Amino acid sequence: MSKIFSIAIDGPSAAGKSTLAKALARELNAMYLDTGAMYRAFGLYMLRRGAASDPAAIAACVDDVNITVDYVDGAQRICLDGEDVSQAIREPEVSMAASTVSAVPKVRERMVALQRKIAEGHSVVMDGRDIGTKVLPNATLKVFLVASAEVRARRRCRELAEKGMEQPYEQVLEEMIRRDYQDTHRAASPLMPAEDAVHLDSSDMTLDQTVAAMHALALEAIRRQ
């Protein structure tokens, strides 16, 4: 496509945002950016320092941490102080740490600035929790992707099992509900749909069906811009 465009996909944990965004980016020949991975990297940094639940300590570390995004054979790689942590940030405890650090205003300010810089001059598909409301407020298309907590917990269980990190469904569901509450009730950029976002519920949809629906929405939005 000759037009420069931006697609913002927001939604709760395990709604399928990253999988959908990657597939859509391939179909549209656009850059993909998983912003949640950046917050996870910051959360991992704080976990390693034993201060992942201390807002003051988190805010004090904002300018110390070095998070970079690289692409290897089209796949996104997250580096923390030069270390590839793309796998390490997928541990369950990092997920909660990411939610905690993302509630700190100074962290969000730095991450939003970095995300905008990465997106400059590129057609991009970006997913996260405040893309349509904060990072790309003028996005060509904004989608708020949801699924029931039970469906999302089952998806996360399968994902963890595939990585050899099996967890009981009940535990995953409890953590999912707790993170949903934390993400939607934080003072700094709480999880919420942009006013002009299209709502898409993938609870009863396969990945192919969800991608097809998103692709149609994206093509129409790009045509109209």
pLDDT tens per residue, range 167-210: 999 999 999 999 899 889 888 788 999 999 999 999 999 989 99
Residue 196 contacts by C-beta under 8 Å, 6 or more apart in sequence? 132, 142
Residue 151 contacts by C-beta under 8 Å, 6 or more apart in sequence? 202, 203
**Residue 92 resides in a domain:** yes
**pLDDT (0 to 100) of residue 160:** 87
Residue pair 25/211 in contact (Cβ under 8 Å)? The answer is no
Residue type, 218: A
pLDDT tens per residue, range 61-114: 999 999 999 888 878 899 999 999 999 998 889 988 998 998 899 999 999 998
**Residue 169 resides in a domain:** yes
Mean pLDDT rounded to a whole number for the chain: 92
**pLDDT (0 to 100) of residue 70:** 87
**Residue 1 resides in a domain:** no
195-208 as b/e: b if 16+ CB within 10 A: eebbebebeebeee
What is the rounded CA–CA span in Å between residue 146 and residue 148?
A: 7
**Residue 144 resides in a domain:** yes
**pLDDT (0 to 100) of residue 188:** 78
DSSP three-state, residue 67: strand
Residue 1 has pLDDT above 90, yes or no: no
For residue 137, the domain's CATH number is: 3.40.50.300
Residue 2 has pLDDT above 70, yes or no: no
Residue 101 lies in domain = 6-224
Alpha-carbon distance values, 188 to 63, 118, 131 (Å): 18, 22, 13
**Residue 90 resides in a domain:** yes
Helices (H), 4-125: 17-28, 35-48, 55-60, 92-101, 105-119
Number of domains in the chain: 1
| pLDDT band at 17; cut points 50, 70, 90 | very high
**Residue 68 resides in a domain:** yes
Alpha-carbon distance values, 187 to 21, 39, 125, 141, 182 (Å): 27, 16, 26, 25, 10
Task: Find tokens 């692409």 and name the residue.
Answer: 71
**Residue 73 resides in a domain:** yes
pLDDT tens per residue, range 118-175: 888 889 999 988 999 999 999 999 999 999 999 999 999 998 898 888 899 999 999 9
**pLDDT (0 to 100) of residue 197:** 97
Residue 54 has pLDDT above 70, yes or no: yes
What is the rounded CA–CA span in Å between residue 143 and residue 112?
A: 18
